[in-house]
Amino acid sequence: MGILEKIAEIEREISRTQKNKATEYHLGLLKAKLAKYRAQLLEPSKSAGAKGEGFDVMKSGDARVALIGFPSVGKSTFLSLMTSTESEAASYEFTTLTCIPGVIEYKGANIQLLDLPGIIEGAAQGKGRGRQVIAVARTADVVIMMLDATKGDVQRELLEKELESVGIRLNRPKPNIYFKPKKGGGLSYNSTVPLTQCSEKLVQLILHEYKIFNAEVLFREDSTPDEFIDVIVGNRVYMPCLYVYNKVDQISIEEVDRLAHRPNSIVISCGMKLNLDYLLEQLWEYLALICIYTKKRGERPDFGDPIIMRRGASVEHVCHRIHRTLASQFKYALVWGTSTKYSPQRVGLTHIMEHEDVIQVVKK
């Protein structure tokens, strides 16, 4: 019995089993087994096959955004509109067969946009180059899920299921669970909140499935068994995702209104170039990027060439970006902008910068 058959068997068993107090341990065990088999599926096979052409593209720019969607939803048209790269677009499926990179220039930042081939149902099992496409998506900072507005919510659910089964968690925070395997001493189990979905017995059963008998587990929130399994496996990627509904010029205004009010969703039309500027604004927010301008002593700030950092970056991060030896020679910095109480404010290395701040570094 191959891994795929085992996975299908367990999924059937889960769908057959009623959810109640008596079956929660059984379901927890099945979920642990399922996660284990899926992890085996994702691991590359030991026997080296013939080398194909490389699929992934070298990371460049300040951030990386992956375009994921079914064939013929307008990914290539979107790439051609947003960047100076021309990606072949046609009215038949699988026009794009490999990963095509482009660069969006916005607010002084270079954002790498990857046009990936269309995903089909069963991509997680390797159908239609699905595994390579999903592997590239894991390396992105934000996923843009392109959906056809004329198809309703079917595509969104299928794509979420495919990404979920390979360990990509969209728009979800990391579970607040402390887990540490030990050499001996059995299982130490604690929680700082009342748990309604996990119990000590269930945690023990799941750990036994992974052959872990000695560990320290501390729940800091009321988590589900699935989230606990994610913490044990440890290779899950938590990333923000924008659901972009294309082709809104072909549906009714009521339907557009319904889609636009869904969380993390944006409606656009590549054919009529509608709402693309708002999409860029939202993308900037999701990437959590900020611009920081530098200033030399006695001169005006250089507004032409900003330093692009992530939100929450400190003065030390800015120094490392300018030059790696600057932080060791740092005396103090003068900062103008919204992160200060008054301008200019004299600050140290730990000061947190904000968008469009101006910094002048004084060396020892």
Per DSSP, which regions of the chain are E strands? 63-69, 100-106, 109-115, 142-148, 168-170, 177-181, 187-191, 215-219, 237-239, 241-246, 265-267, 289-294, 302-310, 330-336, 345-347, 357-363
Closest among 242, 274, 238, 280 to 256, alpha carbons compared: 274
Q: Has residue 163 got a pLDDT over 50?
A: yes
- The pLDDT of 156-162, averaged and rounded, is 81
> Coil, strand or helix: which one is 227?
helix
d(CA 229, CA 119): 26
Q: Quick one: pLDDT at residue 118?
A: 67
Q: By C-alpha distance, which of 63, 60, 100 is closest to 84?
A: 100
Residue 360 DSSP one-character state: E
- The proportion of the chain whose per-residue pLDDT surpasses 70, expressed as a percent, equals 86
- Residue 355 tokens, joined: 């968008």
Task: Identify the pLDDT of residue 48.
Answer: 47
91-100, 133-142, 168-177, 190-199, range with the lowest pLDDT: 91-100
How much is the pLDDT for 47? 46
Query: Of residues 317 and 199, which shows the higher confidence score?
Result: 317
Tens digit of each residue's pLDDT (9 = 90 or more) over 237-286 = 888 888 888 888 888 888 888 888 888 888 888 778 888 888 888 888 88
pLDDT band at 107 (very low <50, low <70, confident <90, very high): confident
Lowest mean pLDDT, pick from 65-74, 129-138, 239-248: 129-138
pLDDT > 50? residue 182:
yes
pLDDT at 1: 65
Structure tokens given for 354:
């904000």
Instruction: Tell me which of 17-26, 92-101, 148-157, 248-257 is least confident.
Output: 92-101
Residue with the bigger pLDDT between 52 and 158: it is 158
Asked if omega into 344 is within 30° of 0 (cis), the reply is yes
Q: What is the pTM of this model?
A: 0.76
Rounded mean pLDDT, 211-220: 87
pLDDT of residue 22: 66
> What type of residue sits at position 159?
L
Q: Which of 91-105, 172-186, 285-299 has the lowest mean pLDDT?
A: 91-105
Q: What is the pLDDT of residue 64?
A: 87
CA distance 114 to 139: 11
pLDDT score at 175: 86
Return d(Cα 240, Cα 173) in angstroms, integer: 9
Compute how many other C-beta atoms are within 10 angstroms of the C-beta atom of residue 58: 7
Residue with tokens 């656009």: 268
Query: Is pLDDT of 95 > 80?
Result: no
Taking the C-alpha atoms of residue 30 and residue 192, their distance in angstroms, rounded to an integer, is 27
Confidence at residue 129, expressed as pLDDT on a 0 to 100 scale: 60
In angstroms, the CA 105 to CA 183 distance is 51
**Where is pLDDT greater, at 38 or 154?**
154
Mean pLDDT for 174-194 is: 86
Q: Are 184 and 212 in contact (CB under 8 A)?
A: no
Identify whether the C-beta of residue 61 lies closer than 8 Å to the C-beta of residue 85.
no
d(CA 310, CA 300): 24
Q: Which amino acid is at 226?
A: D
Which whole number is the average pLDDT over 87-105? 67
Q: Does the pLDDT value for residue 211 go beyond 80?
A: yes
Higher local confidence (pLDDT), 311 or 127: 311
Rg (CA), the chain: 24
Judge whether 148 and 155 are in contact, CB under 8 Å.
yes
- Give the pLDDT confidence of 299-335 residue by residue, as tens digits: 888 888 888 888 888 988 888 988 888 888 888 899 9
Predicted pLDDT of residue 50: 46
Query: What token pair was written down for 199?
Result: 């119990």
197 vs 24: CA distance, rounded Å:
9
Specify whether the CB–CB gap between 219 and 193 falls below 8 A.
yes
